Amino acid sequence: MSFVKLTASTLAIAAVSATAAAARDQVQVAGSSTVLPYASIVAEAFGENFDFPTPVVESGGSSAGLKRFCEGVGENTIDIANASRAIKESEIKACAEAGVTDIIEVRIGYDGIVFASDINGNAFEFTPSDWFLALADQVVVDGALAANPNKTWDQVNANFPAQPIQAFIPGTKHGTREVFEEKVILVGCEETGALEAFKAANGGDEKAAEKSCLGLRTDGVSVDIDGDYTETLARIESNKDGIGVFGLAFFENNTDKLQVATMSGVIPSTESIATGEYPVSRPLFFYVKKAHIGVIPGLKEFAEFFVSDEVAGPDGPLAEYGLVSDPELAKTQEAVAAEATMGGNS
């Protein structure tokens, strides 16, 4: 039987090469889907300009990426985790338990989060309070906490049109969700006085009050999107009343379908985010496993290339794609060059 021979030889090749594969020669990156486009742009340019193979960039979300990052040290674990939020204490602990102790934190720049709706629909000028009143589970009605009665935007704010409230917000596995909660819902909670009310209701416990603020309504008005922004866009295309949460770069690639709402009177743009005028933005990071530097060829070069002026600077390809470049990029470059780990002991 000739296929028996074929099988035997294929298996033999596979077995031989499996042992040879012990030396991985390309950098492996995983994590935030927000950072993915930037990381892939850098990876592509890196592969073009250096004699190393193009790094592999997978997505999956910040938390998923950091979880894989913290699985341990070795060639079958990833070298870099992308994250659209800073690493958490609990994750650092989990990393340490698995032997990943020296982590280099690299901030690549800032990303704006925008609120956009169908291009032919109504224009909106939001404030955080509007979003809190629209989406919170409990709001202050006539001085007392009550279940959110608002059904249309004009009930939230008299200046808005009578359009049904329908929001598509990122699901909890996304880093974007945290920024949305922290910079919009929580701020709105405070502004509308609901935070005080929550505090009064549970005996002055600030943490519990903040948690109550973040309780979003579950009656279908606010929909969690666990997929990517393309899914949010598809939802808005099928439901013209919908308002979605997007990354600035995604919006800028789809200006023919979406119009953006202002937040506290500021139009989101790379400029207004860089100056800090536009309030809803967040830093983007990647985390490098120091133990892999020198083991995985090109890892340090990739990290340095990522934050170099020609890539991450204000005129670089990342800024062109929508990243707000970090004014303190020089500091980051120094830290990467010195392989400064978190906690400062390097």
Partner 1 sequence: MTDHNQTPAEGDAPKRKHGASLLQLTDRTKRRNAAETRFKAYGIAAIGVGLLMLVVLVTTIVGKGLGAFQQTFVTLEVALLEDKLDKNGNRDIEDIKKVTTFGYAPIIRAAMETKVETLGIESALKGKDMADILSKDAAATLREYVIANPDQIGQTVEFAFLAQSRVDGYLKGRVTRESIANDKNISAEQLDFVDQLIEAGTVKKTFNLAFILGADASDARPEAAGMGVSMLGSLFMMLVVLALALPIGVAASIYLEEFAPQNWLTDIIEVNISNLAAVPSIVFGILGLAVFINYMHLPTSAPLVGGLVLTLMTLPTIIISTRASLKAVPPSIRDAALGVGASKMQSVFHHVLPLAAPGILTGTIIGLAQALGETAPLLLIGMVGFIASNAPDSIASGLLSPNSAMPAQIYEWAKRADPAFYERAWGGIIILLIFLVTMNTLAVILRRRFERRW
Interface residue list for partner 1 (CB under 8 A) = 3-4, 6-7, 10-11, 13-14, 16-18, 20-21, 24-26, 28, 30, 33, 36-37, 39-41, 43-45, 47-49, 51, 53-54, 56-59, 75-76, 78, 227-230, 249-250, 252-256, 259, 310, 317, 320-321
- 301 Cβ partners below 8 Å, 6+ apart? 46, 50, 52
Other beta carbons less than 10 A from residue 13's beta carbon? 10
| Smallest distance, partner 1 to C-beta of residue 230, A | 5
What length is written for the chain?
346
Q: What is the DSSP string of 302-319?
A: HHHHHTSHHHHSTTSHHH
In the complex with partner 1, the residue whose CB is nearer, 135 or 312, is 312
Q: Rounded to whole angstroms, how far apart are CA atoms 310 and 237?
A: 37
| Smallest distance, partner 1 to C-beta of residue 62, A | 14
In the complex with partner 1, the residue whose CB is nearer, 47 or 215, is 47
Determine contact, residues 159/198, Cβ cutoff 8 Å.
no
In the complex with partner 1, the residue whose CB is nearer, 56 or 186, is 56
Determine contact, residues 281/112, Cβ cutoff 8 Å.
yes
| Smallest distance, partner 1 to C-beta of residue 59, A | 5
| Smallest distance, partner 1 to C-beta of residue 247, A | 8
Determine contact, residues 280/184, Cβ cutoff 8 Å.
yes
In the complex with partner 1, the residue whose CB is nearer, 198 or 305, is 305
| Smallest distance, partner 1 to C-beta of residue 157, A | 24
Q: Rounded to whole angstroms, how far apart are CA atoms 266 and 54?
A: 39
- 3 Cβ partners below 8 Å, 6+ apart? none
Separation of CA 329 from chain center: 19
Closest CA to 247 of 262, 264, 266, 228: 228
In the complex with partner 1, the residue whose CB is nearer, 197 or 336, is 336
| Smallest distance, partner 1 to C-beta of residue 12, A | 11
In the complex with partner 1, the residue whose CB is nearer, 201 or 266, is 266
